[in-house]
Structure 1
Amino acid sequence: MPLFAPTMSTEKDALLAQLEHSIQNARDVFFELDIDQLRAKPIASSELTLGWLLLHMGEVVDGWGKRAASGPVDPFAGMTAAGAMREADAATAIGEGETAADLLRRFDEYTAAGLRAFASADIDAEVAVPDAPWFPEDMESFNVRWTFHHVLEELHRHSGHADILREAVDGAQMYELRSRAEDIDMSYIEKWFAAHADELYAG
């Protein structure tokens, strides 16, 4: 099923499969873009760029993977919220001489590390709550299961942002990009719509 994550027999395997699938789905949005397109702000009312979104999604997978693998021990202990934001800014900064290939390589490194970390984690293990003002002060811990769902939420939210920005840049849309990026033959979808046009568009 090229457009969907595979069905798995355990909860953790299903979450890992969905995470890997969502990472690939996100990556496909950036297929064949150049660095100028990744730096562009194609929507006048927004500061978002495709390059920032690409690196932010990678950094989210990596950072939360580190938390999941560390269990109740905070891997970022001692780092303030302001310090964490500076680290995130550095992780998403695009160097003057960087190319599109460089940004995709960084995304791949972030997400590969995050996937390895999530794979090593016990799904029921407690995870330390980050020291940040947007987390409730009385919340003592998450569990790894929650971190999976949080990262998937982030990927899906920002993949949607990226879809809109990509279409604004060059008109390319998700099905077309996935087909080209992963060499998936989706002609069967067009054939189905063509065969059922009378039923679908009658009246």
Structure 2
Amino acid sequence: MPGLAPPVADERTALLAFLAQQRQLLRVPAYGLTEEQAWATPSASELSIAGLLKHAARCERGWMDLVLRRSTAPQRKADESDAPEFLPEPGETLAGLLDDYERACAETDAAIAGIADLGQGVPVPRGVPWFSAEIEEWSVRWVLLHLIEETARHGGHADIIRETLDGATLFPLLAAAEQWPDPWFQPWEPAAPPAV
């Protein structure tokens, strides 16, 4: 996917195109990482690129559970820590997390394709301090905008983590990952091992 979302003809296409773009920009910082680098937490937070991908897949599924009314419960209890969600579990790999995120994204796209009216109501879970108690429901449109917002926020986190790890930045990573012809940016390449 190029560095910008494609032209759009209507609202639904626009929302899904911009969500797809932000998803790609969350995945690209993982390009070329080792397992150790993927789980590294080089900043002041406990965030890693792998942990962000794991979280993003969980969140897309949680929001679609609400949209499709498979659940009206909060995705997490108010006293539950974020940390386990962002930490590796036995057997988890970066490739597996990328595949799972891809599946979660496809599930979201399929769910949205099956909804005729983006104004359809989505119940607001109760007992979550950052959700207004006065609001009974959001729209599917609001959920898509929120997914774009959250994915973009976590893409920014991933950019900072990646640049801290090895100096790689988004556009050179995109140029390398997508093999841009005649790129304006020098495509990222792994650092050469030190001479012995």
Shared fold (TM-score greater than 0.5)?
yes
The answer to whether structure 1 residue 54 and structure 2 residue 64 are counterparts is: no
Deviation digits for residues 75-121 of structure 1 (CA, Å, limit 9, x no counterpart): 223568518958x8776552223222122122212222122222222
Segment of structure 1 superposing worse, 21-30 or 155-164: 21-30
Correspondence for 2:123: 128
Report the counterpart of residue 36 of structure 1 in structure 2. Answer: 36
2: CA distance, partners of 1:10 / 1:96: 43
Q: What is residue 181 of structure 2 aligned with on the other side?
A: 185
- What is the match of residue 111 of structure 2? 117
In structure 1, what is the equivalent of residue 148 of structure 2? 152
Structure 1 vs Structure 2: percent identity of aligned residues? Answer: 34
Change beyond 3 A, Cα 1:159–1:79:
closer
Q: Where is the helix percentage greater, Structure 1 or Structure 2?
A: 1
- Structure 1 residue 186, shift from structure 2 partner: 5.2
Instruction: Report the TM-score, using the length of structure 2 for normalisation.
Output: 0.82
Unaligned runs of 5+ in 2: 187-196
The one-letter code sitting in structure 2 at the alignment partner of 1:35 is E
Match of 2:193 in 1: none
For normalisation by structure 1, the TM-score amounts to 0.80
Number of matched residues? 184
Distance 1:26 1:186, change over 3 A: farther
Q: Which residue of 2 aligns with 1:16?
A: 16
Give the C-alpha shift of residue 155 in structure 1.
Answer: 0.6
Please list every run of 5 or more consecutive structure 1 residues that lacks an aligned counterpart in the other structure: 192-203
Moved over 6 A (4+): none
Q: What amino acid is aligned across from residue 112 of structure 2 in structure 1?
A: F
Find the counterpart in structure 2 of residue 76 from structure 1.
71
SS state at 2:88 partner = coil
Deviation string, structure 1 residues 124-168 (Cα, Å, up to 9, x no partner): 101110221211111111001111110000011110010000011
Structure 1 residues 80-91: aligned runs within 5 Å: 81-82=76-77
**SS of equivalent residue, structure 2 residue 77:** helix
CA RMSD of aligned residues (A): 2.5
